[in-house]
Chain A
């Protein structure tokens, strides 16, 4: 089985991630998921592609801590986080987060919390290529 927390160049399968999560416990009554995708239009400009830079070892370590923190904070049965790097184009998957709990409220809240925390804690940067040139993305609040 693939690791629950990964940074990878290749695309991921939401179905495989959810199946892996469900396989961890039959007490799981709710799974909250977040899928972040690449947009082909941003800040009034066409975006041809998005590339990533990452402080790889720290990013992975922070994502592993984030998963552990979420499991503890929301009493999850399990959680998974996958983030792509490399280069993606409009419509491609970027990040997938799944939280499994006994009930829906914990699953949904944990999922929301994890993506917000990931943006604050995990050292990854996006660069957009547009007709005007390349520019690093300024994070949204």
Chain B
């Protein structure tokens, strides 16, 4: 399984802070994003940052491992 995390404005639009998505062999970050975005299009209008296992991820071709933790995030507004 892949653990998908949402925070702040994205979590509000999804209506949840986390989802479990079934892992498929060869799954890439783009595949996961597409699957989640088709389910929550309004939330993903806000998504501009991603993280895999707590590290910033910009390469959409990044392969995911089973058990990965992926966050789809809006622009940060801390500080």
Contacts and interface: CB of A to CB of B under 8 A. Distances in A.
Dominant secondary structure of chain A at its interface with chain B: mixed
Interface stretch (A10-18, A19-27, A104-112, A132-140): A132-140
A137 B77 CA distance: 6
B79 A119 contact: yes
Interface in A51-107: 52-55, 57-59, 61-62, 83, 94-95
A126 B78 contact: yes
B54 A136 contact: no
Given A121-B56, A123-B71, A53 B7 contact: yes
B8 A118 contact: no
A139 B49 contact: no
Contacts of B12: 136
A55 B78 contact: no
A120 interface: yes
- Give the size range of A's interface with the partner: 20 to 34
B74 interface: yes
A139 B76 contact: yes
A122 interface: yes
Contact of B7 (A115, A125, A137): A125
A103 B5 CA distance: 43
A118 B79 contact: yes
A127 interface: yes
A118 B76 CA distance: 9
Interface of A: 36, 52-55, 57-59, 61-62, 83, 94-95, 115, 118-127, 136-139
